[in-house]
Structures are given as structure tokens and as C-alpha cells.
């Protein structure tokens, strides 16, 4: 079964501790956290308050059996110093390890991506993979749209030499199961997880059933917000249950759906 996660951006400005409490009993397995490159969350992880939030969240994760899928994000540029005390990305890696996350997301800035040759990007991303290894984190480039096979092929060329991966962004209201399957084939073992927009999932409703039917069962699916603007402002528990049901239907193969409906 695919691991299902809710990113903190879906419930912003609620804290990760509040998100973890909300997920308990809703069917969602994991959370995704902003711990770098987002100014609004900085007070949660700095100073004395940051230490208290760290302790509270770790305790909440253990009690609810919710896990952390990823932390993000690291901004990739020409320099990635191996200084995990003062460097911003070192703090992201440290917090990711403390939370037991599987992935750390990263992205090249728009200028850097345009200016850097493939070999430079491979080198910078490879350095992040090496630095993340002691923390037991696997870096992923995020996010890449499902309808841009050229970008997906380019990202795969960047991450494959070091064994990293890519986050596949799937716009549920404008793509087909065939496009998803084609993107999965392009990325192969470089596919880290699939990201969906919570707003798009809600708007589309049951119309997207089976969209992810051929997604390999080991690939997680994460529900994200748009620009960290909270989606679950009203009755969050009910909406989390409904969103889980909709995403689960996306993952259901048509033959499984037919059998379930036939059984009544």
C-alpha cells in the first residue's frame, strides 16, 4: 500500500504538532514539514521555543504512530559547504534526522538552474546526497510537473548519478492516467514520491478515481497546499477523512473498483 502523507502547507498556519494530532485516526500515515526556506515557520524551530516544539513533535509522532515523510527544503546553488553547524541546509538535515524523515527536498533557484551546466548540477546535487547520507536522508528534487517529460528527463539525469530522486507533481484536474504512467516510466527508480494539490483534489472529487491506479505501491503520495495557504480551515477532521477517501480512490485499480462495487 502506498504511504499517504499530508504536508504542513495544507494546514498552515497550524503547527506540525497540531497537524499530527489532526491526522490520528484519519487514515493518513505521515506528515511533510517545512523547516527551511520558509520564513513563517522559522519561529517553530529557533531558540528555546524551537527546542520545545522539537520535543513535543517527537513525542506526538511516537504516540500517534504518524511518521515524517520529508523535510524541506534546501536551496541548491553553486556552493554547498560541508558545515552543518552554520550552514542553513545543515540545519534542515539535522532536523530531518531528529524527526526520522525519509527524504529532504531541494531545488535549484531559477537563475542557478538556467546558468548551471548539467555537470555542475549533478555535482551540487551529489554533494547534498553525500552530506545527507549520515542523517539517513535521501534528497529529492521538487517538484517536477507530470506534463513536462523534458523537465523530468533532465531532472532524472541530475539525480541518477548520486542515487537521489524527484518529486512528481500531478495536477489532478488536467492530466490523465496515461500521462502519470508515462512520467513514472521516465523517472523509473528516481521517482521519490507523488505530490497532489489538496484544493485540486477537493474540486475534482470522485472524477479522478483511478488516476494513480498504476503507481507502484512503494511510492508515497503526499497532499500539498498551494503557497502554504491553509486549506483545512473548517472542520479539518471531516475534510481529512474525505480527502483520504478521494486519494485512495485515485490509487484504486479499475478492476479492484469493479469488484468492490459488485460486492455492494
The pLDDT score that the predictor gives to residue 156 is: 95
Using the CB atoms, write b or e for 101-126: b if 16+ within 10 Å. bbbbbbbbeeebeeebeeeebbbbbb
> Contact at 8 Å (CB) between 134 and 161?
no
- For 12, residues 6+ apart whose C-beta sits below 8 A from its C-beta are 40, 225, 228, 229, 230
Contact 8, 257 (CB under 8 A): no
- Report how far residue 245's alpha carbon sits from residue 260's, in angstroms, rounded to the nearest whole number: 14
Kindly list the structural domains of the chain, giving each domain's residue range(s) and its CATH number in brackets, ordered by start: 4-262 (3.20.20.150)
| CB count in 10 Å sphere of residue 76 | 23
Look at residue 162 in the predicted model and tell me its pLDDT: 97
55: left (phi over 0), alpha (psi -120 to 50) or beta: alpha
Alpha-carbon span 183 to 27, nearest angstrom = 27
The pLDDT value recorded for residue 140 is 98
The residue ranges of the chain whose pLDDT is under 50 are none
Compute the distance between CA of residue 111 and CA of residue 108 in angstroms, rounded to an integer: 8
pLDDT, residue 227, reads 58
Residue 228: per-residue pLDDT: 54
Burial of 217 (0-12, 13-18, 19+ CB in 10 A): exposed
Among candidates 182, 110, 183, which has minimal Cα distance to 144?
183
Whether this model's pTM surpasses 0.85: yes
Res 69: pLDDT: 97
Q: Cα dihedral sign for 151, 155, 157, 160?
A: negative
- Residue 133's Cβ-count burial label (10 Å; 0-12, 13-18, 19+) is middle
pLDDT at 142: 85
Amino acid at each position: 500500500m502506498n504511504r499517504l502523507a499530508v504536508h504542513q502547507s495544507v494546514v498552515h498556519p497550524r503547527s506540525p504538532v497540531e497537524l499530527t494530532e489532526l491526522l490520528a485516526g484519519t487514515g493518513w500515515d505521515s506528515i511533510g514539514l517545512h523547516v527551511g526556506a520558509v520564513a513563517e515557520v522559522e519561529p517553530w524551530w529557533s531558540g528555546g521555543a524551537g527546542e520545545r516544539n522539537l520535543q513535543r513533535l517527537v513525542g506526538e509522532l511516537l504516540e500517534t504512530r504518524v511518521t515524517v515523510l520529508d523535510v524541506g527544503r534546501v536551496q541548491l546553488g553553486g556552493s554547498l559547504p560541508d558545515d552543518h553547524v552554520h550552514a542553513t541546509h545543515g540545519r534542515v538535515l539535522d532536523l530531518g534526522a531528529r524527526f526520522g524523515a525519509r527524504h529532504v527536498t531541494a531545488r535549484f533557484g531559477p537563475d542557478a538552474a538556467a546558468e548551471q551546466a548539467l555537470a555542475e548540477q549533478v555535482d551540487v546535487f551529489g554533494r547534498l546526497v553525500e552530506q545527507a547520507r549520515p542523517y539517513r536522508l535521501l534528497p529529492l528534487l521538487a517538484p517536477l510537473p507530470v506534463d513536462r517529460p523534458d523537465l523530468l528527463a533532465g531532472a532524472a539525469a541530475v539525480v541518477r548519478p548520486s542515487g537521489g530522486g524527484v518529486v512528481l507533481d500531478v495536477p489532478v484536474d488536467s492530466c490523465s492516467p496515461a500521462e502519470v504512467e508515462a512520467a513514472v516510466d521516465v523517472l523509473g527508480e528516481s521517482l521519490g514520491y507523488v505530490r497532489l494539490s489538496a484544493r485540486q483534489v477537493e474540486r475534482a472529487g470522485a472524477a479522478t478515481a483511478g488516476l494513480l491506479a498504476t503507481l507502484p505501491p512503494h511510492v508515497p503520495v503526499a497532499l500539498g497546499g498551494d503557497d502554504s495557504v491553509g486549506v483545512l480551515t473548517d472542520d479539518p477532521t471531516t475534510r481529512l477523512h474525505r480527502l483520504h477517501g478521494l486519494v485512495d480512490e485515485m490509487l484504486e485499480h479499475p478492476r479492484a473498483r469493479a469488484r468492490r462495487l459488485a460486492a455492494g
